[in-house]
Structure formats: structure tokens, C-alpha cells
Structure 1
Amino acid sequence: MSVSVVGIAGSFSQPSRTRELVAQGTERAALLTNGTARVFDMIDFGPSLGAALRADELDANAAAILERILTADALVVGSPVYKGSYTGLFKHLFDLIPPEALKEKPILLTATGGGYRHALVIEHQLRPLFGFFEAATVPTGIYASGEDFPDGVNLSETLEARLTDGVAQLVARVPVQLTERPVPAFAD
């Protein structure tokens, strides 16, 4: 069974810096675990996400995405910062998830914003949200502003270093897939 790393970008813009940051984190974690990577934007859920009061009210497409999130071995989540917090539909998605569903799931937290005055959004907004779920968020949270994407896509050296640290911490928390690892031979 392959390790599954799922990214959730709380943005509606395409392309977006949030999607780029989440995608790079997700792909790097999958590469380091010989796993699979998949990234979803809020727009991928379609209109049923905003209309659903419970997860069982999601259409088939949105329900399938939610199932991939819940069954992933690790998550990379990120949101652009609006008015000092994550996006509303991003929060609504997690409102549909039962509290025990993310318990001990390794999660790398990311956020993007126009400047550094929102840099604490990870500590003041995202970490408490995932603390409620008792998720295993990694110590390094990654906030990026516009200047961290010098050409709009590529990451600055500083952002690269933070992402490398965060991904390493995430990968270290991914459960070992014993069925895929060779059993060492011991001498009698």
C-alpha cells in the first residue's frame, strides 16, 4: 500500500501562490515517501460544498475528495489570508469533518498573504483549528508573502529552506508502511 499525501489549497484563484506552495509541499512529501500526491483547490469541490450542512449532503465528486482527505496518510493544508484568517469555505470544509477523523494525522500547515503582517495566521488560526482535531501538526508552519515568490511561481531561497524543513518534519511523522518494507534477515 502506497503512502498517500493530499494537499488542500483554500484558494479559488488559479493560478495561486497558495496552490503552488501546497503543491510543492505535497509533491516533495510524496517523493520522499515513495507515495502519491494529489492537490485539491476549493473550486474542485464544486457548489455542493457551500450548500452542505453535513458531509452526507455533498455531491459524489465532493464526497470523493473528502474521502481522499480522510484516508490520506498525511496532509499539506494552506489558505490565503483574508481579513486576518483562512478563507470561509476552507473552514466550512473542516466543519463537515468529524472531530476524531483527523486525530494524529500528520499535517503541514501553510498560508500565503500579501505581506508579513499576517504571518501569525498559522499560529493563531490554523494551528488551533487542527489542534481541535488532535492532528499531528508539524512544528514548522510555512507562511509566504508575495516577495517569497520572486517571479510569481518559483520560491525564494528562504521559502525553499522553510519548506524543506516542514516537509522533512511531515515525512518523519508518516506511519511506516510495514507491508512494503523488506523484512531484515537476522543471523541465527
Structure 2
Amino acid sequence: MPQRIIGFSGSLSSPSRTRALVDLAVSRTAPRFGCTAATYEIADLQPSLGQAQSVAQLDSLPRMILDTILSADALVVGTPVYKGSFTGLFKHMIDLIDPAALAGKPVLLTATGGGSRHALVIEHQLRPLFGFFEAATLPTGVYAEPSDFHEGQPASDALLARLDRAVDQFAPWLSQTQAASSAA
């Protein structure tokens, strides 16, 4: 059975630069490692996410989506940056997750913001958050600002190079199982 890479965008905007970045990361990872792929966004979990105080209080579709995210072999997670941090609803979703649910899972951290002064959100906000869960965050995080996009899509050479470097860092997790599957 092929491994699964799941993307999750914490943006409520539509269209969303965050969603475009997460989609691109997932679409570059899946064929590289022979994975199946899907991307979800915070709006897919509404309206029950905002009202839930536990996973059990989510409606059936948002619960299924969260279960899919947590059972993935690898994740690409992205958030827009507001006031120097991730969004509140994104953090609320994370707060519902069991602390052991992401242990050892490889996660590519991405973020989008209005300018370069938000670029450290990955190192100062997202990496510690996923560190609490003992997730295996990839060494290269991918931050993008408006100048990295053309017509709503990630386009700058520097951004695409960072993204490709990050995607390659999934290799210890995704290629091991692929190699074992091929040998069998």
C-alpha cells in the first residue's frame, strides 16, 4: 500500500497563498516518493472545530479529516502569519490533538506572511509547537512572502529551491518503506 502525504493549511482565506504553498509541497513530494496525497484546510473542519472542546465533539466529516491527517505517513503543515504567529483556529485544532499522535511523524513546516519580518515564525512558533508533540520536523522550513508568488502561485526561484530541498528531506521516512515494498 502506498504511503500517504497529507497537507494541511491553516488559512481561512480562499484563495490562499498558504494553501497554494502547501499544495505545491504535497504535489512535489507525492510523485518523488510514490505517495498518495491530499490537502485539507481549516475551513474543511468548520463550523464544528470552533465549537469543539475535544476531538469527540467534532462533527463526523471534520473528525474523519483529522483522523486522516493524524494517520498520514508524512505531513506538510502551513499557516498564515498574523501578528507574528500562527492563527488562533489553527492552534485550537492542534490543541485537540493527543500529545502522542504526532510522535516521530515527519512534518514539513510552511508559513506565509506579509513580509520578511515574519520569516522566523517557523523557528520561533511552529518548530517548538511540533516539538512538544515530538514530531520529526524537517530541518528546512519554507516561509513565503508576497514577492515569492506570481498570480497566487509560489513562483520565486529561491522559494522553489527551498521547497525542493525540504521535500528531499522526507527521504529517510518515505523512501525506506518504498524500498522495502519494492523488495517484497
The match for 1:64 is: 64
**TM-superposed deviation, 1:29:** 1.1
Aligned length: 183
Residues 139-159 of structure 1 deviation map (CA, whole Å, 9 limit, x = unaligned): 001100000003332421110
The gaps in structure 2 that reach 5 residues or longer are none
Asked if the contact 1:3/1:34 (under 8 Å) is kept, the reply is yes
> For residues 1-188 of structure 1, what are the structure 2 equivalents within 5 Å?
1-174=1-174, 176-177=177-178, 180-183=181-184
Letter in structure 2 aligned against 1:145: E
The match for 1:186 is: none
1:138 and 1:113 mapped to 2: Cα distance? 20
Residues 79-117 of structure 1 deviation map (CA, whole Å, 9 limit, x = unaligned): 000010001111111111111110000000000001000
Point out the more displaced range, 151-160 or 45-54.
151-160
TM-score by length of 2: 0.95
In 2 relative to 1, CA 112–4 (structure 1 residues): closer, same or farther, beyond 3 Å?
Answer: same
The gaps in structure 1 that reach 5 residues or longer are 184-188
Sequence identity (%): 55
| SS of equivalent residue, structure 1 residue 104 | coil
| SS of equivalent residue, structure 2 residue 112 | strand
Larger-gyration structure (1/2): 1
Q: Which ranges of 4 or more aligned residues in structure 1 deviate by more than 6 Å?
A: none
Point out the more displaced range, 103-112 or 173-182.
173-182
TM-score by length of 1: 0.93
Asked if the contact 2:122/2:141 (under 8 Å) is kept, the reply is yes
Residues 120-164 of structure 1 deviation map (CA, whole Å, 9 limit, x = unaligned): 000000000000000000000110000000333242111000000
Letter in structure 1 aligned against 2:60: A
Asked if the contact 1:9/1:77 (under 8 Å) is kept, the reply is yes
Asked if the contact 1:142/1:163 (under 8 Å) is kept, the reply is yes
Letter in structure 1 aligned against 2:124: H
RMSD between aligned alpha carbons?
1.3
In 2 relative to 1, CA 42–73 (structure 1 residues): closer, same or farther, beyond 3 Å?
Answer: same
